[in-house]
Structure 1
Amino acid sequence: MALSSSSRVYDCIVVGAGIQGSFTAYHLAKNQKRTLLLEQFPLPHSRGSSHGQTRIIRRAYAEDFYTNMMDESYQLWADLERESGIKLYRKTGLLVIAPSGNEEFESICKNMEQKKIPWERFTKDQLMAKYPEFILNPEDVVCCDNNGGVLYADKALRSVQEQFQRMGGVIQDGQKVKNIKPGQVVTVTTTSDIYEAKNIVITAGPWAQKVLSPIGLELPLKTLRINVCYWKEKIPGSPGLLQNFPAFLGVNLNGEEHEVYGLPCQEYPGLIKICFHGGNEADPEERELQTKPPQIPDIQILCNFISKYLPGLHPKPAVIEQCMYTNTPDSNFILDYHPLYKNIVIGSGFSGHGFKLSPLVGKILSELSMGKEPAYDLTPFRITRFKTQSASL
């Protein structure tokens, strides 16, 4: 494991080959940076936050900074489709359903109107005429982000990694990071080798805190175990349920302080993917272990939602799988430098809504590592917004 002449020193090492790290490495390689992408598990794998067939893409955000970022994200997804020759995005429209007067709903509508995003409001009758599978409460309101839809997640991850390698990037999988030694040249020790780089970007997903703590940074990250649920039609072949099903986001319905989302399913023929946005805290090393009763009865909440809003589906999930989210207290990302080491950049806390923005997140993280000024105001993503940070060794 001997190092190295200067010729073996990478311009950048990216730790974590999920969608955020893979896009970061891709953009670095596009800028002719000698880049190593490290992954602790053999690729492909399903232990983090980037696996599975589908994710939602939307401009419908209450926060205007995300709405602003999505224009370039859509363009970068189109660039990857063109480069790879693989279809990665399917336009279905995205419905937002909420009780009348809901502040988040009104902010979403305001943002789409101000940004001149193609969108429309539906009355209850209009929605049920177009999507008869939905049954709404009398007080519910609906809008549609017309260009919302579905990203093909596994294909996207594979495509961006392949493009990175075609540009000369190096992927080393099955190598868990054991130690990071800061310095003008950063030394990264894995289970199998030692590497050096002028800069590193840490995009370690659910393992972020385990990687960051030894280099003096404690962030208020919470790792959640997510139940990914798939639902079956009561009457197979019902009109609309599978052929014309949109992506959707249900906000604070039935007086509950939570969100439910759904999208047409690619994973299992004849099933629809509908999930609770959130989950119960879990150690990523023990993802499959149910060591204590769940604090949030997420599956029961989903069963209740299905019974009320989508009665054409069986109210019990046909398939339940697991995924991991890494959440921040405000559900906004972390895109920033380490407070002590400006050649260590951190991308974390994507809080279950980062996949759609990953092409742009990767671009921003690559720019930070190259010392460039991103085109976006990163104030919402700074580490300094957390009072609990610790950066002393």
Structure 2
Amino acid sequence: MYDCIVLGAGVMGSCAAYNAAKNRKKTLLLEQFSLDHKNGSSHGASRIIRNCHNESNYVKMAHRAFQLWDEMGHLGGETLYTSCGLLWLGDEEGTIKRSNLLKENNNVQHQILAGKQIRQKFPHLNYDEGNWHAVLDNQGGVIYAEKCLQTSQKLFKQFGGDIKENCKVVDVIPGSIIKVITEDGHTYETKQLIVAMGGWLNKLFPEIKIAPTPNLVSVNFWKLKKEFEDKEPLYNPDNLSPCLIIKKDDIDFFMLPGADFKGQVKFGIHMGESIDIDNKDRNVADWMHLNPAKHMNEHMSDIDTTKPEKIVMCVYQVTDDSNFILDTHPKYGKNIAFGSGFNGTGFKFGALIGEILNQIVDGKPINCCDMTFFSSTRVITEKNIH
């Protein structure tokens, strides 16, 4: 008998399991694939971490997330993120809105830049023309995704947790004592169940009203042109080269400096194409690297945009309003909680999501955010790219 079982050993599930074990729950973490699989959303070396968002709920959550990553890094003896800065480029109206949200929520340190000021501070970025404005979130930067995942799992085991990989769950029987049945015929019993299965949530719980749609996304790596290889330090997060979020019309791009591979930037478009999560035959469309190449040609002349040096596929779990799903099961009681629908922006909140999912099943108050945002039965009225 376990106090808590967690389904899914991506960043959300691993952080939830770590939090449970740290709080002295006898905990089992089940993963249907190997721990180092690349079928979901948690693989790869880096992600963006930031305070800056388009909605105050996420700004408040970011403050707590930074604290929890610091705590995990201290316990694990690791540096889990680098504050090289997050530069969010867009129009003047959006920039002012994001700046005001940072001021109103914890008065986060930031700067506003416009036009030629951007290149004066960051010589490799040319946004002189076109009425570009930007917020520089000083604490933002690169979070080391693979290291975060490994550290949360290492600490989970140090706190006495059990991990079983290649262990697919085929059924859950709810009740005051929950039964979790696996494909190999085992039945595990637990008082609490946390479900962090990403795109597989609705395979196990098809009755969830707001079902995230798995989207396949192309993560593109681009090298510097040979004649500009001496500019590598400008693209190095250790030299405070910032991560970028770029909003142009209805398209959102993202860029991370050379955190994965030296001399290469990670630059992609924040959208994908819907897929069947169980289909292993995955191919990304050409537009997912052609659109980023066009933007870099206009604004980052040091980058060789002939073709990506490397393409890695990632799966986003997309909700209709782009907000997360963090809730109890609507039918089976408050000892089953689930998290999904992180829309490609959730990794940086992983340590916090792990805490929240435990607070949900423990029946504890959650003070860092308005949880109605994340209800599985909410009425969706508009899309919010946060």
- TM-score, normalised relative to structure 1: 0.90
Distance 1:239 1:186 in 2: 54
Match of 1:328 in 2: 319
Does residue 249 of structure 1 match 2:245?
yes
2:310 to 315, 319, 322: 319
2:174 to 182, 207, 210: 182
Deviation at 1:167, TM superposition (A): 0.6
Distance 2:117 2:47 in 1: 26
1:286 to 279, 295, 299: 279
Deviation at 1:138, TM superposition (A): 3.1
Amino acid at match of 2:352: L
Farther off after superposition, 24-33 or 77-86? 24-33
Amino acid at match of 2:40: G
2:219 to 228, 234, 239: 228
Deviation at 1:191, TM superposition (A): 2.0
Match of 1:309 in 2: 299
Deviation at 1:218, TM superposition (A): 4.2
Distance 1:53 1:278 in 2: 20
Amino acid at match of 2:304: H
Correspondence 1:30-109 to 2 at 5 A: 30-101=22-93, 103=94, 105-109=95-99
Match of 2:357 in 1: 365
Distance 1:218 1:197 in 2: 25
Q: Secondary structure at the match of 1:209?
A: helix
Match of 2:202 in 1: 209
Deviation at 1:71, TM superposition (A): 1.1
Distance 1:387 1:280 in 2: 21
Match of 1:147 in 2: 139
Any unmatched runs of 5+ in structure 1? 1-8, 389-393
Identify if the C-alpha distance between structure 1 residues 298 and 166 changes in structure 2 by more than 3 Å, giving closer, same or farther: same
Distance 1:57 1:287 in 2: 29
Does residue 135 of structure 1 match 2:131?
no
Contact 2:210 2:377 in 1 (8 A): no
Q: Secondary structure at the match of 1:260?
A: strand
Contact 1:202 1:208 in 2 (8 A): yes
Amino acid at match of 2:243: A
Distance 1:217 1:69 in 2: 24
Does residue 262 of structure 1 match 2:233?
no
Distance 1:120 1:287 in 2: 44
Q: Secondary structure at the match of 2:234?
A: coil
Deviation at 1:362, TM superposition (A): 0.7
Correspondence 1:339-378 to 2 at 5 A: 339-342=330-333, 343-375=335-367, 376-378=369-371
Distance 1:352 1:326 in 2: 7
How many aligned positions are there? 370
| RMSD of Structure 2 on Structure 1 (CA) | 1.7
Contact 1:220 1:386 in 2 (8 A): no
Contact 1:204 1:211 in 2 (8 A): no
Match of 2:384 in 1: none
Q: Secondary structure at the match of 1:323?
A: strand
Distance 1:46 1:265 in 2: 21
